[in-house]
Amino acid sequence: MKRREFIKQAGAAGSLLVAPAIAMAGKTIRWKMVTTWPKNFPGLGTGANKLAALIGEMSGGRMKVKVYGAKELVPAFEVFDAVSRGTAEMGHGAAYYWKGKSEAAQFFAAVPFGLNAQEMNGWLYHGGGMALWTKLYERFNLVPAAAGNTGVQMGGWFNKEIKSLADLRGLKMRIPGLGGEVLKRAGGTPVSLPGSELYTSLQSGNIDATEWVGPYNDLAFGLYKVAKYYYYPGWHEPGTTLEALINKQAFEALPADLQSIVLNACKVVNQDMLAEYTARNNAALHTLVTRHKVKLRAFPEDVLKKLKSLSDEVVAEVAVKDADSRAVYASFRKFRDEVRAWHNVSELAYFRARG
């Protein structure tokens, strides 16, 4: 009798556990993803599309994410707030756009003369960076995830040659984040603009120069039509991490397996985007130079040396502005110094040997 009663009670308890799973399995969870990028823009916009598609595929259709380009649901620079308050469950952008929310956020996108893509991933996933990023965004009701990387970017498009630091003085340039602060320190005027406004702003003379990403994206935007001087290297963005922003309540409402699917889909897209830029940039650069007669230029060594000095000043000042920035910078700097020692005898040594 006791055995039969035990089996009956166990069966009842089991049904209580299975019922929610069955209910969840039969329900399609629908999310909105707002982005800072033009709809379907190569690399960045399509990266957001891939993330949404991957979540759908990995979840077996249990989740469907609809992507909205900049201005379709909210303007590009309102993505952070839209996801924070739950207007959309997810966003895709870059953390340096949110320095008005937190100075420390910039470290999770790009630091001038800082970590490249390989090093950023090392810091985030295995160097403590991700834990700091998660803690920082928690107060904004957000869960962050790395969801793309452009690799080393280009230095930008200019309507005149940059022969010395004096040529940067008075220059109005679209350049975000810490790189913009460095330009300001060099005598220029940084301007914050979404990607969709770059072409017309450069064409009209509202700005004198702009950086965007690299040849693959810049060719798609047609920036070669409004500026002929194309400079490298992208000292300001040596390996820019793109981010997925997830509304904390929406994320926590998911069962554990779907939470894992969302985060791991971000990791897949993070790697895939870097691979795409690596594969596409060279062909695009060749087209820009040979077909469109773009004047490819390297920044003079003395200009880069001065920009490096100014960057060190700017980053050091940001690092002491508040407790968050101090904690993030301490972790960032420690990892940078350690990985640099290793890369000097691995990546850098190999590139020199390869020639």
What is the Cα–Cα distance from 120 to 126, expressed in whole angstroms?
10
Asked if residue 211 and residue 131 are part of one domain, the reply reads no
Asked if residue 310 and residue 230 are part of one domain, the reply reads yes
Asked if residue 141 and residue 47 are part of one domain, the reply reads yes
CATH number at residue 246: 3.40.190.170
Asked if residue 192 and residue 74 are part of one domain, the reply reads no
Q: Residue 350 falls within a domain, yes or no?
A: no
What is the Cα–Cα distance from 308 to 178, expressed in whole angstroms?
12
Q: What is the count of structural domains for the chain?
A: 2
* DSSP-derived pairing of the beta strands 90-93 and 156-158: unpaired
Q: Residue 349 falls within a domain, yes or no?
A: no
Per-residue pLDDT of the chain (355 residues; tens, 9 = 90+): 454 554 445 444 443 333 344 335 578 999 999 999 999 999 999 999 999 999 999 999 999 999 999 999 999 999 999 999 999 999 999 999 999 999 999 999 999 999 999 999 999 999 999 999 999 999 999 999 999 999 999 999 999 999 999 999 999 999 999 999 999 999 999 999 999 999 999 999 999 999 999 999 999 999 999 999 999 999 999 999 999 999 999 999 999 999 999 999 999 999 999 999 999 999 999 999 999 999 999 999 999 999 999 999 999 999 999 999 999 999 999 999 999 999 999 999 999 999 9
What pLDDT sits at residue 3?
47
Q: Residue 43 falls within a domain, yes or no?
A: yes
Q: Residue 4 falls within a domain, yes or no?
A: no
Q: Residue 332 falls within a domain, yes or no?
A: yes
Residue-wise pLDDT for 87-114, tens only, equals 999 999 999 999 999 999 999 999 999 9
What pLDDT sits at residue 17?
36
What pLDDT sits at residue 258?
98
CATH number at residue 166: 3.40.190.10
Asked if residue 86 and residue 32 are part of one domain, the reply reads yes
Listed in order, strand segments (DSSP E) in the chain are 29-35, 63-68, 90-93, 142-149, 156-158, 172-174, 189-191, 209-210, 229-232, 241-247, 295-298
Asked if residue 207 and residue 324 are part of one domain, the reply reads yes
Asked if residue 176 and residue 33 are part of one domain, the reply reads no
Asked if residue 267 and residue 315 are part of one domain, the reply reads no
Asked if residue 267 and residue 248 are part of one domain, the reply reads yes
Burial code (b: 16+ CB inside 10 Å, e: under 16) for 181-194 equals bbbebbebbbbebb
Q: Residue 2 falls within a domain, yes or no?
A: no
| Tokens encoding 193 | 């603009």
Asked if residue 78 and residue 57 are part of one domain, the reply reads yes
Range of the domain at 263: 27-150+239-279
Asked if residue 171 and residue 194 are part of one domain, the reply reads yes
Q: Residue 7 falls within a domain, yes or no?
A: no
Phi-psi region of 143 (alpha: psi -120 to 50; beta: other; left: phi over 0): beta
Asked if residue 224 and residue 315 are part of one domain, the reply reads yes
What is the Cα–Cα distance from 258 to 252, expressed in whole angstroms?
10
Q: Residue 73 falls within a domain, yes or no?
A: yes
